[in-house]
Structures are given as structure tokens and as C-alpha cells.
């Protein structure tokens, strides 16, 4: 019994980012998602009062820490509904021709963030199997904890969000 509690505590406690790192990474991801949603808008919702849902998948082996996920969701709460996913089928209708994202929305892939005041982060956006793009997005610290996408993102080949094979 005590062993189970200890194991759970260890599992829950390890690997979390510090508060400053967390704020920084959350702000960078939020800026990238905002840019992707603006440049690749999801289909409009039937009820105009409802915000569209966009799906987020990590590019690479590591998942986005839950603290950062929560902060990103909160930062974008008035702009878009953010849903972090574990499996492709959570966001993509794999059995439908063209494998589109649910409800005409988009799936955004986000790579790990390097250190620095201006960072180039890989991001990919998927609308359907035929409509996937990869970018290297530069995000800069604008002061007071705010981060924004600057310059024009560079097109790069798609790696992480390649469509699921039939």
C-alpha cells in the first residue's frame, strides 16, 4: 500500500519543468498555435459563439509536460479550444477518405523548444492527408513575458505529421 503511494508520488513528481521555463515554453507554444490558426484557419463552427478545437501533437518522442499543456490551454482560452493528443486517431478521421481532421479543424505538431531569447521551433500543420505543411517558426521574446512569431516562417519538409499508412 505504502509502496504504491511512493511509486505514484515518484511518477507524479519527476520530470516537471521549473515555473520560469514553464511560462516561457507555454508562451512560445501559444504564440505558434496562434500563428498556425491564423494562417491555416479551421472550418467555422456551426454555432458562431463556439470556438473551434485544434489538436496538438508533440513532434519527437517526448510529450509536452502537463503543466505547459494547462498553461497553453489557458493562454488561448479566448481564442481557440486546444486539445493535446496522444494518438493520431484522437484528431484524425482515419477511416474517412483523405483522413481529414475532425470537424474540418487542424492538427498542429510542435517540436521541443531550444534555449534563447529568439528561438526557431519546428512546427507542422495537418488538415488532411493531402494538406500538410512544415515550418521553422521564429519566436522572439517581446518583453514582459510575452512572446510572438517574428519574420516569415521557413518552409521545411514534413516529418512528424506524415499521414497514417492504410
Partner 1 sequence: MGAATSTTETAPGWVRSLADVARGRSDLDKLLRLHPLHSAGEAFFAVSLAGSLFFNVSVDAARPRILLYLALTMAPFVVLAPLIGPLIDRVRGGPRIVMSATLVGRAVLAVMLASQLRTLLLFPLAFGILVLARTYAVSRIALVPVLVSDRGRLVAANARLARIGTVGGLVGSGIAVAILAAADAQWVLRGAVVVYGVAGLTALRLPLTTSPDAEAPVEEYLELHDPVIQATTLDMAALRAAVGFLMFHLGFVLKTDGAPTWFFGLVAGLSAVGGFAGNIFAPGLRRRYREQAMLTISLTAPALAILVASLRLHEITIVVAVVVLGVAAAVARRAYDSVVQTRAPHAKRGQAYAWLETRLELAWVAGALVAVMARASGWLGMLGLAAGMGAVAALHARRTRTWVALREVRRTDPLAVRLLRTAEQLAAQGDVEQAVVAAVAAAEIASGAAADEDVAGPVRDLRDMRASVLAGAISVPQEQALAMARQVVEPVEVSP
Q: For the chain, what is the radius of gyration of the CA atoms?
A: 17
Q: Does 86 bind partner 1 (CB under 8 A)?
A: yes
- Separation CA 166–CA 118 (nearest Å): 40
Q: How far is the CB of 64 from partner 1 (least distance, A)?
A: 7
- Separation CA 37–CA 79 (nearest Å): 9
Nearer to partner 1, 128 or 153 (CB): 128
Q: Does 7 bind partner 1 (CB under 8 A)?
A: yes
Q: Does 87 bind partner 1 (CB under 8 A)?
A: yes
Q: 41: exposed, middle or buried (C-beta count within 10 Å: 0-12, 13-18, 19+)?
A: middle
The three cell numbers locating residue 137: 517558426
Q: How far is the CB of 143 from partner 1 (least distance, A)?
A: 26
Quote the DSSP letter at residue 166. Answer: -
- Separation CA 69–CA 83 (nearest Å): 9
Q: How far is the CB of 141 from partner 1 (least distance, A)?
A: 25
Q: 48: exposed, middle or buried (C-beta count within 10 Å: 0-12, 13-18, 19+)?
A: exposed
Residues 97-136 binding partner 1 (CB under 8 A) are 102
Q: Does 44 bind partner 1 (CB under 8 A)?
A: no
Nearer to partner 1, 89 or 159 (CB): 89
Q: How far is the CB of 38 from partner 1 (least distance, A)?
A: 20
The SS3 call for residue 57 is strand
Identify the residue among 30, 82, 108, 149 touching partner 1 (CB under 8 A).
82
Q: Which residues of the chain form contacts with partner 1 (CB under 8 A)? A: 1, 4-5, 7-9, 11-12, 63-67, 69-70, 73-74, 77, 81-87, 89-91, 102
Amino acid at each position: 500500500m505504502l509502496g504504491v503511494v511512493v511509486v505514484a508520488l515518484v511518477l507524479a513528481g519527476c520530470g516537471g519543468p521549473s515555473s520560469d521555463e514553464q511560462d516561457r515554453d507555454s508562451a512560445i507554444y501559444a504564440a505558434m498555435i496562434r500563428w498556425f490558426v491564423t494562417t491555416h484557419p479551421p472550418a467555422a463552427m456551426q454555432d458562431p459563439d463556439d470556438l473551434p478545437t485544434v489538436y496538438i501533437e508533440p513532434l519527437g518522442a517526448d510529450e509536452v509536460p502537463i503543466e505547459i499543456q494547462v498553461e497553453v490551454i489557458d493562454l488561448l482560452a479566448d481564442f481557440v479550444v486546444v486539445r493535446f493528443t496522444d494518438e493520431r486517431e484522437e484528431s484524425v478521421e482515419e477511416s474517412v477518405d483523405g483522413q481529414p481532421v475532425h470537424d474540418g479543424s487542424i492538427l498542429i505538431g510542435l517540436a521541443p523548444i531550444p534555449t534563447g531569447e529568439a528561438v526557431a521551433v519546428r512546427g507542422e500543420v495537418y488538415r488532411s492527408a493531402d494538406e500538410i505543411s512544415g515550418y521553422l517558426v521564429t519566436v522572439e521574446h517581446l518583453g514582459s513575458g510575452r512572446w510572438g512569431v517574428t519574420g516569415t516562417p521557413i518552409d521545411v519538409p514534413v516529418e512528424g505529421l506524415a499521414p497514417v499508412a492504410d
